[in-house]
Structure 1
Amino acid sequence: MMQELRSRKVEESSAREDVHTAASGDQVSTESGGRTDQLRTSGWAAEGPSRPWCRPPPCFSPSSDVEVWLNRLNDYFAANEVPQDKWVAVLKSFVSDEVYVVLAEEGPTATFNELAACLKKRYGSGESELMTWMRFARRRQCPTESLEEFADPFGLCNAAQTFQRFIDEILHGLNFAYAFIDDILIASKTPSEHDGHLRELLQRLTNYGVVINVDKCVFGAPQVEFLGFLICPEGIKPLPTKVQAVLDYPLPKTYQELRRFLAMLNFYRKFLPVLHERQQEGRPPSTTSRRSRHRSLRKV
């Protein structure tokens, strides 16, 4: 019932805006014209059905700019949790290699029908119906045309998980490649083997319609930064810039500042074997008084 009332309210508001625009004779702003032309020419969007000013209530805000409101979609989606691999263990399997490459994708260029067919094959018709509704929700309605974007926009709760599954399907069977959402790491033992791995991966990306940003790629490097770590033939190390930031961090004076510092330090806890014991020394129980907490802080 609330959904019907909300839909009726948005439709009445849209009708009043159209009547006001037609009566006043004002021209519609064309500030978004350059953006839509750029999306169309670059291949990131295509013209959709001619349905002027059609706005599904959960997706579009009732403003005159007709902007997409993607946050409301999260209330209707079930969480699509993807079990992430233990990427630290995966990175450790690359420490004996000497040639690395990082490919940062700019986004998939595959059409929505191809992606929906892939999801339907893996998850069934329910996921396909959901993605079909998301396709209509991602439609960018303009005064003179309707565009449908192919890439997943920011703001959807399942966008990262869906793209991670898509990348995992692309890299299936390629044991020399590992991907974390839009970052791909290739490890090879020799330069000639590296060239073969690179050609095989690029061919796989081409078959799936994925493009990469060459300016963000690193080819044939003896060491590379990946997910906040420095991977080199000697092993996995923390980034020198991050280590220097920890060393230059001011001495905590309050218990809140200490908790903030420990949260930053825990990112590299794998390289600090005695970190847990040292943290327990300065961590009083939650039931202690403020004076006991400050006494524990001075002890640290």
Structure 2
Amino acid sequence: MVRTRGAKSEYSGSEPDEDAVLSGDVGDVVPRRTLREGETSGLAGRGGPWCQPPGTLSSGMDVDVWLGRLDDYLAVNAVPETRWLAIMKSLVDDKIYKNLRCLGPSCSFEQAKSYLLRRYGRGKLEFALRLQFSQRVQQPAESIEDFADELRRLGTEVGKHDADQKAQFIIGLQDANAQRYLLEKVPASFDEALQIAKQFLAVQTSVEDMQRTRQRVAPVACQNNCSTEGSGPSGLDKEFTGGAAGTHRRAPDTTGNAPRRGRTQQKHHAGLEAVFERLRRYNLTVRPDKFCRAQIEFLGFELSAAGLRPLPDEVQD
């Protein structure tokens, strides 16, 4: 059946070709153009692959996100600027469309966009955003990357330049050492400041881990090689201290009771007596093992588990 201009219908003796479509306005059979190789059916625009337009805007939606998607659609499909306003109006609900019509025929796309942001936007007032930017600091549980991303977003919204964002980033860092390091390095940009801070904090964390590991390992090594507190007197203590009464015995003389060359026997023994006299006077217990060392120098003598060995110098206070 073919539809005619006189609204009458008449039967055709043959069915339309399956490569043809019926026009809704005229009684002609319009042949369907087949796609040639390499052609697409509207899935590619002038600017590249076709991009789906955003959904219909209503007052309950986030107008900032919607406008961003509209910009993407217009850019990817290379839509001429003269059509932007008409496309915007076609993608809003009836209520918003009426409001846009009230802006007048001379309204531009940018004016309509500003109206939508002012009327339906959820953004804060500019001075409030500026205050939030100037007070933004890194939170205790916030990573340096998240802090930088949020600061960059706020700075972009209030029109802050890269230098302002860099300065606020350094001021807002929680780590004071990282702040001082950045002030010394004087980074040229916000991105460079972020990279320097990340490298510094990574090195600092590694050093702290090494120090904690050393603190855990050192006492164990000292316990294996030395006496520890509360384990009773060591062998050297027993040579130097003689019980609760505080009496002292002489340590064995590894020199065979022979004076050191250049020193008389009398001076040699006088030196030993000076050592023990000072131990008694100050109620001292000399334990080289507490220094994690096999021997120490004390009042002109070398003290070790083997005994006392005089040093070249005289015994001095």
TM-score (norm 1): 0.23
Which structure has more relative contact order (CA 8 Å, sep 6+)? It is 1
TM-score (norm 2): 0.23
